[in-house]
């Protein structure tokens, strides 16, 4: 083995896509929140313990800041690891006080989420106060990285490419589910369910080496296996949405 030509860097930034659960809080009495968390904890203790979550407090606009903070504390006490607050008018003023970063989701259709959070109002200001800062215009050319899966997606597994395309180099087994906000490419047989454009992108498409799916869906419109004709099944298929109809074409 020859010596490594370039010295090893002490740090390295990697643009990996990770799936994180979003915990959406709704206005509720502290006791109700506790009970709900306890119930979930009881159902799936292994899953919930130390589970990293991003908290979405958008629905809590009328709740005083102090109560929001104690709600976050309650969540923390139940073993969930808070890794950030989903950016909203409600959460923005709390970022400094909680020490949690504000997290902005990828641009949605219509671009109502600014790419960067608006400047934060002073900490003293009441949280109900709406931010006066002008909204930052949505950035046009944002490239959301595609999620590439190099393993077969097996029965019982679910893969979701949030905000982008999903590329699967192997098979999608019967009983597996693959979802993407954008297109789905399957370079093996597609035998499970494939749902493209799950947040409403009509132009999303599904491409597959072989179509033998249990269900295909684009932007909420779907066809189940029974509705897919034998002649439509086969090699090299493209699935698109035209109007309200799912069309299956040969590539």
Partner 1 sequence: MSRIVVITSGKGGVGKTTTSAAIATGLAQEGHKTAVVDFDVGLRNLDLIMGCERRVVYDFVNVINGDANLRQALIKDKRTENLYILPASQTRDKEALTQEGVEKVLEELSQEFEYIICDSPAGIERGALMAAYFADEAIVVTNPEVSSVRDSDRMLGILSSKTRRAEQGEDPLPAHLLITRYSADRVEKGEMLSVEDVQEILSIGMLGVIPESQAVLNASNAGMPVVLDTESDAGQAYRDAVARFLGEDRPHRFITTQKKGIFGRLFRG
Q: Residue 53 contacts by C-beta under 8 Å, 6 or more apart in sequence?
A: 20, 21, 22, 23, 75, 80, 81, 82, 83
Q: Is 48 in the site for partner 1 (CB under 8 A)?
A: no
Q: Shortest distance, CB of residue 3 to partner 1, whole angstroms?
A: 26
165 within 8 A of 185, measured Cβ to Cβ: yes
Stretch that binds partner 1, among 4-12, 84-92, 188-196, 229-237 (CB under 8 A): 188-196
Residue 174 in contact with partner 1, rule: CB under 8 A: yes
State which residue, 221 or 233, has the beta carbon closest to partner 1.
Answer: 233
Regarding 151 and contact with partner 1 (CB under 8 A), the answer is yes
Span interacting with partner 1, options 23-31, 83-91, 104-112, 185-193, rule CB under 8 A: 185-193
Give residues with Cβ within 8 angstroms of 164, minimum separation 6.
Answer: 17, 106, 144, 145, 146, 147, 180, 181, 182
Whichever of 47 and 61 has its CB closer to partner 1, that residue is 47
Token pair of 184 as six digits: 């789905």
Q: How many residues bind partner 1 (CB under 8 A)?
A: 16
| 88 forms part of the interface with partner 1 (CB under 8 A) | no
**Which one, 138 or 175, has the nearer CB to partner 1?**
175
* Beta carbon nearer to partner 1, 100 or 174: 174
> Where does this chain bind partner 1 (CB under 8 A)?
151-157, 170-171, 173-176, 188-189, 191
């Amino acid at each position: 083995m020859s010596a490594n030509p370039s010295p090893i860097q002490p740090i390295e930034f990697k643009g990996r896509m990770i799936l994180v659960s979003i915990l959406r809080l709704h206005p509720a009495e502290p006791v109700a929140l506790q009970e709900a968390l306890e119930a979930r904890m009881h159902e799936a203790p292994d899953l919930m313990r130390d589970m990293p979550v991003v908290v979405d407090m958008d629905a809590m606009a009328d709740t005083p800041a102090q109560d929001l903070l104690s709600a976050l504390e309650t969540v923390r006490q139940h073993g969930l690891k808070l890794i950030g607050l989903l950016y909203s008018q409600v959460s923005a003023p709390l970022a400094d006080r909680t020490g949690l970063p504000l997290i902005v989701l990828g641009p949605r259709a219509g671009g109502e989420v600014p790419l960067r959070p608006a400047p934060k109002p002073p900490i003293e200001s009441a949280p109900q106060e709406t931010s006066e800062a002008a909204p930052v215009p949505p950035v046009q050319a944002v490239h959301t990285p595609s999620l590439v899966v190099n393993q077969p997606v097996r029965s019982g597994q679910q893969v979701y490419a949030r905000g982008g395309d999903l590329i699967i180099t192997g098979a999608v087994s019967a009983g597996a589910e693959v979802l993407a906000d954008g297109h789905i490419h399957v370079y093996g047989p597609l035998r499970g369910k494939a749902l493209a454009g799950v947040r409403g992108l009509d132009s999303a498409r599904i491409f597959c080496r072989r179509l033998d799916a249990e269900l295909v869906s684009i932007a909420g419109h779907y066809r189940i296996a029974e509705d897919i004709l034998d002649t439509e099944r086969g090699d090299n298929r493209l699935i698109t949405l035209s109007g309200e109809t799912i069309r299956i074409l040969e590539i």
